Amino acid sequence: MLQHIIFWLTQKRWLLFALAVGAVLLLLPVPSSMESMQGETMTDPIKAYRTMIIVIMAIILIIFEPVPLPAVALMMLFLQVILGIDDPNGVAKSFMNDAVFFIMGSLMMAVAIVSQGLDSRLALGIIRFTGNKTWRIAFGFVGISAFLSSFIGEHTVTAMMMPVGLTLIYNTSTDRDATKNLAALILFSIAYGSAMGSIGTPSGGGRNVIMIGYWQEFGLADISYLGWMRYTYPMLLVEIPIAVAILWFTFRPKQKVLDSAVRKLKVQVARRGAMTGQNILAIIVFLIVFLGWVFFSKKMGLGIIALIGVFLYLVLGLIRWSDLNRNTNWGVILLFGAAISIGLQMKETGAALWFANSAIDIMKNLSEDISILRWLIAVLLTGVLTNLLSNSATVAVIGPIVLNMGGDPIVMGFSTAIASAFAYLTVVASPTCMIIHSSGLVQRSDFLKAGWKMFIMSIVILFIMSKFWAVS
């Protein structure tokens, strides 16, 4: 019995640490900087302070995962009531909104689309587009992954591209040492291409929709689907060739041409047969959803349109509910809902404003130019947290802080949403990284090798874009 208790304690040490941190912070007095804000911008410093305590505890629990993530989500919700931040109905209202609908709908649509087996069509598309030179194939993987993920989300694309990439690698050689660099080049082209692409449109990732939701909720802006694309697509197009160059020079493979591997892939794809009516129908449904996003999202919301898409996939028999149920990440939906709820509380209680002011105060020695300073804080904070948490959870928590920092809320919001895609540094940074790592062909250390270059490159391009690319 004692042994079980000791084992439980060692396994849950980060849970105990988070609880201890929470308890100590609760016993400490509210920071004087928070008290002094009472009145004009902060309604109740105690509520604001307690909201920050929940955020700190949640971040510890999400990073170290001592308990299942849905449990963290539940904790974020009930603590709001227990600590007197809001009443139960208030918490419930902040938990469910269009961004959560979108995350739910897009995760379910991803399952429906991936199950169609469209990967062999993608394989043919890539080969036609690139030929058999390795660098062109890498370019094709980055380009197509980025393009597709900008519309249907990064995990969906990575899941579909993985078998195509692995087929090319194993067709080249089954000796892992011989294809070590080639495997890294192709798999990172898929993962990083998908991650980069997810900034392209609002439907590229749940975090984009979360940011649009915050803009609307706080009355700061109303960005349309195409309006978003106008801001982000130029950056995506600039990033693609640079990312290919970074990956190529980091993992320069021995094989400069993949002649026989490409030929074998063509034969394998031919054997899988032509596109079925079901495949075509699945694409048509997605196109309907896409057109809905472009033309009706302002009126109907991106989430509701995504749910219509799921409805169509189900009623047309393109996916069974049991498959959808099994492969949809319900826990993550709960967590993102809870993160958005706490994000809204941060704004409501003034905690976001307090954090924004404190961060600027602490870092004011770094630069005299306040606009650069607040931009830098937003991007670095998001970039670092997105590599430790998850990109949507990061935007949900950081969003209200950034939008309270002052400056142009559109530039700040876009910069935060875009920086949350810079999840290149660790395996746990995003499901795309975990998917390629689970192939066993790329090591944990490989992520840092190319990741830090991608991270710096992305920040520099984002800075240039933020400075010179105005949103109309």
Partner 1 sequence: MKFLIAVGSKEYSESTLRVGMQIAKSFQAAVTIVYVGPKISDFSLPHVRLAQERMEEWDFDRPGVEVLEWAFNFLAKNDYITSTTIESGFPKNTLVQTDGNRCDVYLQGTISTDVNLILRNGDIISELRDEVARGGFDVTIIGGSQKRRMAHDMIQYIDSSILIVNKYNPDKTYGLLLPVDDSRKTPQAVKYGVRVAQAFGIKVDLLTVSKTNKFGKGYRNAAKRAAKMMRRMGIEYENHFKHGDPAVVIRETAGNDHIIVMGTSTKNPIAKFFMGSKPLQVMESNPCPILIVK
Site residues, partner 1 (CB under 8 A): 2-3, 6-7, 10-11, 65, 68-70, 110-111, 114-115, 117, 119, 155, 158-160, 162-163, 166-167, 170, 268, 327-329, 331-332, 390, 428, 430-431, 434-435, 437-440
Report, in Å, the least distance between residue 122 CB and partner 1.
11
84: region left, alpha or beta (phi > 0 left; psi from -120 to 50 alpha): left
Element (H, E) at 81: helix 69-82
Both tokens of 328, joined, read 């949809």
Instruction: With both helix axes pointing from N to C terminus, report the angle between 391-403 and 206-217 in degrees, rounded to the nearest 10.
Output: 20
The residues near 55 (Cβ < 8 Å, ≥ 6 apart) are 342, 346, 351, 397
Between 104 and 412, name the residue whose CB sits nearer to partner 1. Answer: 104
Both tokens of 302, joined, read 């991106």
Cβ atoms within 10 Å, residue 440? 9
Report, in Å, the least distance between residue 57 CB and partner 1.
17
Question: Which residue in this structure is represented by tokens 């047969």?
Answer: 273
Chain centroid to Cα 105, Å, comes to: 15
Report, in Å, the least distance between residue 328 CB and partner 1.
7
Report, in Å, the least distance between residue 315 CB and partner 1.
22
CA 222 – CA 388 distance, rounded (Å): 30
CA 357 – CA 374 distance, rounded (Å): 10
Between 106 and 349, name the residue whose CB sits nearer to partner 1. Answer: 106
- Identity of the residue numbered 133: K
- Identity of the residue numbered 257: V
Report, in Å, the least distance between residue 56 CB and partner 1.
20
Report, in Å, the least distance between residue 427 CB and partner 1.
8
The DSSP bridge partners found for residue 133 are 257
Cβ atoms within 10 Å, residue 384? 15
Report, in Å, the least distance between residue 451 CB and partner 1.
17
Between 120 and 357, name the residue whose CB sits nearer to partner 1. Answer: 120
Between 51 and 392, name the residue whose CB sits nearer to partner 1. Answer: 392
* Short-list 15, 74, 2, CA closest to 341: 74
Report, in Å, the least distance between residue 413 CB and partner 1.
23
CA 464 – CA 468 distance, rounded (Å): 6
Report, in Å, the least distance between residue 184 CB and partner 1.
16
Report, in Å, the least distance between residue 120 CB and partner 1.
8
Question: Which residue in this structure is represented by tokens 């060692």?
Answer: 10
Between 134 and 390, name the residue whose CB sits nearer to partner 1. Answer: 390
Between 158 and 416, name the residue whose CB sits nearer to partner 1. Answer: 158
Chain centroid to Cα 133, Å, comes to: 31
Between 57 and 157, name the residue whose CB sits nearer to partner 1. Answer: 157
Report, in Å, the least distance between residue 433 CB and partner 1.
8
Between 160 and 353, name the residue whose CB sits nearer to partner 1. Answer: 160
CA 353 – CA 266 distance, rounded (Å): 57
CA 258 – CA 263 distance, rounded (Å): 9
275: burial class by Cβ within 10 Å (0-12, 13-18, 19+)?
A: middle
- Identity of the residue numbered 329: N
The answer to whether 220 and 408 are in contact (CB under 8 A) is: no
CA 468 – CA 326 distance, rounded (Å): 45
- Identity of the residue numbered 54: I
Question: Which residue in this structure is represented by tokens 């170290």?
Answer: 64
- Identity of the residue numbered 461: I
Report, in Å, the least distance between residue 100 CB and partner 1.
16
Between 242 and 388, name the residue whose CB sits nearer to partner 1. Answer: 388
Between 224 and 268, name the residue whose CB sits nearer to partner 1. Answer: 268
Between 161 and 353, name the residue whose CB sits nearer to partner 1. Answer: 161
The DSSP bridge partners found for residue 42 are 38
Between 168 and 285, name the residue whose CB sits nearer to partner 1. Answer: 168
CA 67 – CA 49 distance, rounded (Å): 24
